Amino acid sequence: MNVGKTLTVVLLVVLVAVAAAAGYLALQEPAEPPEFEDAGELRMEVADDWRDTGPSEEFDREAVEDHVLVYTNEFRSDEGLSTLSDDDLMLDVARSHSEDMASHGYVGHTDSDGVTAEERLSEFEPDHCTSTGENAAAVFHGVQEHDQWLEETVVNTDEEDVARSLVHSWMASELHRDNLLSEDYSSVAVGVYVSEANAAFATQKFCG
């Protein structure tokens, strides 16, 4: 794996101001929105106590993942780039990282055990990719948030909405957009964890 080509950048899609007006975490009455703080090493953490209430039964995460791939490839096609194939070999890695972010209340690339994006992939499949990249994000569902790509307020109510917001958040960030539109990659694994606590965490693992 050519670590030199690896671009791992963190996306913090925490729309606290908008979410606060609608209410955010379904953890107590009344629900309180989270506040994230910079924890260094491309990592943001929930400032207050975080407790994931478990995966949402309302959302089908496979459907969210499929829609993320579709939207990703639509943006690539619009730029005249080849589409990315679905990388099943890295799916468990991407899903595990998204679940770790939800369980521990952060968005970043170094997990709760101190394992980096490169280390996660090399431990799992050291010769699978010659170049890799990772995008990570968290968006809300069931509450108002600002879509930075569309520059309008949205409410994500189904799998397609959540997927669209995730991809739009990456497209609105230059470094994440560079990953998503890179010619270095031929496949991507999309791992999603949708929490009952009105948040969806996602990881894209790119491979070339």
Share of the chain above pLDDT 90, in %: 50
The strand pairing partners of 146, in sequence order, are 153
Confidence of residue 122 (pLDDT cuts 50, 70, 90): confident
Among residues 99, 42, 72, 60, the alpha carbon closest in space to that of 188 is found at 72
In tens, the pLDDT along 64-83 reads 999 999 999 999 999 999 99
Q: pTM value?
A: 0.81
Strands (E) across 14-173 are located at: 36-38, 43-46, 85-86, 106-108, 132-140, 144-147, 152-155
CA–CA distance, 65 with 95 (Å, rounded to integer): 10
Write the single-letter amino acid at 15: L
